[in-house]
Amino acid sequence: MAFKSMLPFVTVAAALQVANAALTRRVACPDGVNTATNAACCNLFAVRDILQDQLFDGRECGEEVHESLRLTFHDAIGFSRSAVKAGKFGGGGADGSIAIFEDIETNFHANGGVDEIIDTQRPFVQMSNMTTADFIQFAGAIGVSNCPGAPQLDVFIGRKDATQPAPDLTVPEPFDTVDSILARMLDGGDFSPAEVVALLASHTVAAADHVDPTIPGTPFDSTPSLFDTQFFIETQLRGTLFPGSDGDNQGEVMSPLAGEIRLQSDHTLARDSRTNCAWQSFANNQAMMQSAFKAAFRKMTVIGHNERDLIDCSEVVQTPPALKANPHFPAGLTHADVEQACATAFFPTLPTDPGPATSVAPVPPS
């Protein structure tokens, strides 16, 4: 009797065991080295290794990584939910259109400069056996894994390639108002103001070539090869200078450090009441910034798709190096230089780097 009444439990336990085994079952990849949860991911190990060696110069967090990350956004945000609702074509989101229709989309003003990385990536796309849509998001995630302090980003494959270009004006500009940026990000990717702030953690590994074209490669924070929180600290400091010689350019406002450039959009988002507390919350919270960026990036990479239709190949992404530095004010600056914006919490107390005022301006050749 007792045995009989236990039967249903035994059956359930056995069923769970089978389900677990199915979930954790891995396939051996044809390369003889790797295993994967889905055979479709096997190809990505080799593509990853080639990108690391040949595109990212042996696991650097340099220019190609920064440009590849920017490209993930400019491709994915090419989507409009309101256009679709109105029965019009609103773009395909993360569909590779930016590279497939390079001739059209790189002429859109907001896409200035992305042609370089599209052209650099093209031979790798061709050898990868991936769709262009998948490749762009994959390359961004692999590149970011080289940046100390970055989260390990998720990777999905299975997107179909675009058959037509995205419409113009889907990519926000640095001179856009906060209203317009938040509206565009909501329409493009259903992003909340907090998710927009999270996505902008990307500007911690970033520089501008075209905002002030006389000083290409000018970074947004003092540590552009680290995925740290300095971007959120330094954008909250009072701006005192323009890094270039020809004053303010469209979309540029003053920055607090020699050799650092500040986008008007980053400045206004750091101060607007809808976004300033989220912005400040990342200033000394690396873990929170990492997890918020990881989640928002994942959402961005599947714009125009249903995640359930895609294959999760996140296991291919390497663990990023740990961050060794702590949040700080650059030398010469203190809490007194903070423009407090969040109304409900004070900007955190941070140490100031020792030594003469920090400059990230390139040293002129002697």
Which residues here bind ligand HEM, judged by CB under 6 A? 63, 66-67, 69-70, 73, 113, 172-174, 181, 196, 199-200, 202-203, 205-211, 251, 263, 265
Residue 71 beta carbon to ligand HEM: minimum distance, rounded to whole angstroms: 9
Q: How far is the CB of 314 from ligand HEM (least distance, A)?
A: 17
Contacts of 26 (CB under 8 A, 6+ apart): 35, 36, 37
Longest dimension (CA), the chain: 92
- The minimum distance between CB 38 and ligand HEM, in angstroms, equals 26
Cβ proximity of 146 and 322 under 8 Å: no
Tell me if 137 sits within 8 A of 94, measured CB to CB.
Answer: yes
Contact 235, 214 (CB under 8 A): no
Task: Mark whether 74 is an active-site residue.
Answer: yes
Minimum separation from the CB atom of position 308 to ligand HEM (A)? 23
Residue 136 and residue 96 in contact, taking contact as beta carbons nearer than 8 Å: yes
The residue (of 168 and 353) whose beta carbon lies closer to ligand HEM is: 168
Orientation angle between helical segments 42-50 and 114-128, nearest 10 degrees: 130
Q: Which structure tokens are listed for 136? A: 């762009």
Q: What minimum distance in Å lies between the beta carbon of 110 and ligand HEM? A: 8
CA dist 239 and 283 (Å) reads 17
How far is it, in rounded angstroms, from Cα 74 to Cα 94? 9
| Residue 80 · residue 93 · CB < 8 Å | no
Least Å distance between CB 45 and ligand HEM? Answer: 24
Partners of residue 219 on adjacent β-strands: 207
Which tokens in the block code for residue 126? 């061709």
Half-sphere exposure of 227 (CA within 13 A, CB side): 33
**Residue 125 vs 266, nearer CB to ligand HEM:** 266
In angstroms, the CA 144 to CA 88 distance is 35
Catalytic residue positions?
Answer: 74
